[in-house]
A and B are shown apart, each in its own frame.
Chain A
């Protein structure tokens, strides 16, 4: 039992450490990077790692290490906005839908269906055409596309838990709606939501890369891991290592967030182990 408890903490701690590293790098990059992430040097393009450029350079000779560092800021912004919007709006709708049921459920869910059926690219294009291209605009569009997932997950859990013994018992004892929701139901729905959130974060980062194909999202020359990954494809033969660094950064983000999410999940739920 004790070893299980320690193991539980280890997962969480590793996850937090990696996430903290990410956050720390992002903050650091705002005040210092080894080189100017925007400084070009065409003659030194696509270089393999050296002392001067520990990660090598990109197709314009810009220092990859500095760009990966600064890219962390973009990634965090991307994830926070998209997941923030998706989760906040989605969970709220899902809660109402699953708890109240009836026509409320019906209306909300059909609206959610409409959002799911509406191509996210169109909304990204629309916002960009109206507000101008940029990372915030595109991520709001991605956030909206995340809402259905959070909404349906929350609703599913609420539908199920609503009728469970402990909730019915609490209700019989006179607990009011708000207490029921906040105290009894919501904590038990957290697990899949945490998993969804920690999964959606890297999805948002990669969605940004996908939008980069159309020129939406981060505008050059600002660094973004997704955009760097996309560019790296063209230069795969000239510089095979180019893709490794942004790719590795994304993989590390995935790892850190997932471990933290899993750890959080385990910690919050006393029944596991």
Chain B
């Protein structure tokens, strides 16, 4: 097992390296450079050319990458071209928005989806099942940007309970900050919950049909016991897999919702950086997101072992 973990750590480094090279190449290949965008259509072309030179963008791509890599390995992720602020500090400043947002959405997802999926499976093809599936269909069918806008219109414009967007900041207090994240978290979690409900239901249904469940029932074990002790644990593998995938997608899902709710989060930072070809920021955010994904997947893989000791690496 220890060897396995070490292998994973080495692979982690390899993955990050691979991703960083890919991102670097893509940004350089895409037409447009940050100097051009800063100068816009009204800036003099000579000034743009000089700016480009001073940013080191005329050097060969390999040289630029190695330069970035050398500094990154020392912990220096560079300075944002747009904001003139160190990339590390910039990313850290966005985490207090994106992490709680993803966290809240993930919480909704776990608290709602698994019980609901379980319930649906046990009421297979009865009203309960159909109702749960209906909610799930709605969740999948409504896109994030619509869910967000509808929530804003209802709870902010019509009822006036929460602000329509923006982030109050944790310094104002725990409750105001959470309030600004509530609606976007619901919008974000809505879809992911719907997906997980279906996956849970399917997995539990699979297990409910197994021999040992029938045996347990025949033995007279109470239904509740059957469900929790025998069914759920064995259904967990696909559930955990999908949850892991959804968690990863949550991070991607924050992009649209952060725009709708005007939240200063990581997703919006990434989008703005890509548009402005702010390479240090794109690299920084991608590395952070890739690391999170690797971590989540690692946890999921470890969970497999806990859930089913027959699985070996």
Contact surface of A with B, Cβ cutoff 8 Å? 4, 7-8, 11, 101, 105-106, 109-111, 113-114, 116-123, 125-126, 129-130, 148-149, 152-153, 156-157, 159-160, 163-164, 191-192, 195-196, 199, 202-203, 206, 209-210, 213, 226, 229-230, 233, 236, 243, 247, 250-251, 253-255, 258, 262, 265, 269, 271-273
Are A129 and B138 neighbours in the complex by a CB distance under 8 Å? no
Residue in B290, B294, B300 whose beta carbon sits within 8 Å of that of A118 in the complex = B290
> Judging by beta carbons under 8 Å apart, are B206 and A269 in contact?
yes
**Is the CB–CB distance between A110 and B11 below 8 Å?**
yes
Q: How far is the CA of A203 from the CA of B142 in the complex (A)?
A: 10
Q: Of B29, B252, B256, B308, which contacts A126 at CB under 8 A? A: B29
B248 touches A (CB below 8 Å): yes
Q: Return the contact of A163 from the options B125, B195, B289, B311 (Cβ within 8 A).
A: B311
Q: Which residue of B lies closest to A7 (CB)?
A: B125
Known: A210-B143, A258-B198, A265-B202. A119 touches B252 (CB 8 A): yes
Which residues on the B side are within 8 Å of A230 (C-beta)? Answer: 145
Q: Nearest chain B CB to A211's CB is how many angstroms away?
A: 11
Inter-chain CA distance A4–B126, complex, in Å, is 11
Residue ID in chain A nearest B207 by CB atoms = A271
CB of B82 within 8 A of chain A?
no
Pick the contact of A125: B14, B30, B252 (CB < 8 A). Answer: B30
Add 18 more A-B contacts to A113-B293, A122-B26, A271-B210 (CB < 8 A): A105-B313, A117-B19, A117-B294, A118-B19, A118-B22, A121-B274, A149-B245, A153-B238, A153-B245, A157-B237, A160-B304, A164-B310, A195-B202, A199-B198, A210-B143, A233-B146, A258-B198, A272-B205
B286 within 8 Å of A by Cβ?
yes
Count of chain B residues near A, Cβ 8 A:
69
**Interface contact B242-A153, CB-CB below 8 Å:** yes
**Residue among B153, B198, B237, B290 making CB contact with A113, cutoff 8 Å:** B290
CB atoms of B198 and A195 under 8 A apart? yes
* Interface residue from B30, B255, B271, B289 paired with A117 (Cβ < 8 Å): B289
Does B36 sit at the interface, judged by CB under 8 A? Answer: no
With beta carbons under 8 angstroms apart, the residue of A4, A101, A109, A255 that contacts B137 is A255
Best-buried of B22, B125, B138, B259 by chain A (most CB within 10 Å): B125
The answer for the CA separation of A11 and B195 in the assembled complex, in Å, is 19
Shortest CB-to-CB span from B289 to chain A, Å, is: 6
Q: List, in ascending order, chain A residues with CB within 8 A of B241's CB.
A: 152-153, 156, 192
- Among B11, B199, B208, B274, contact of A122 (Cβ-Cβ < 8 Å): B274
Q: Considering the chains assembled together, what is the distance between the CA atoms of A111 and B12 in angstroms? A: 10
| B173 interface residue per 8 A CB criterion | no
Q: Which residues of A contact B19 (CB under 8 A)?
A: 114, 117-118
Report B280 CB to chain A, min CB distance, Å.
15
- Considering only residues 1-35 of chain B, those with a C-beta below 8 Å from chain A are 7, 11-12, 14-15, 18-19, 22-23, 26-27, 29-31
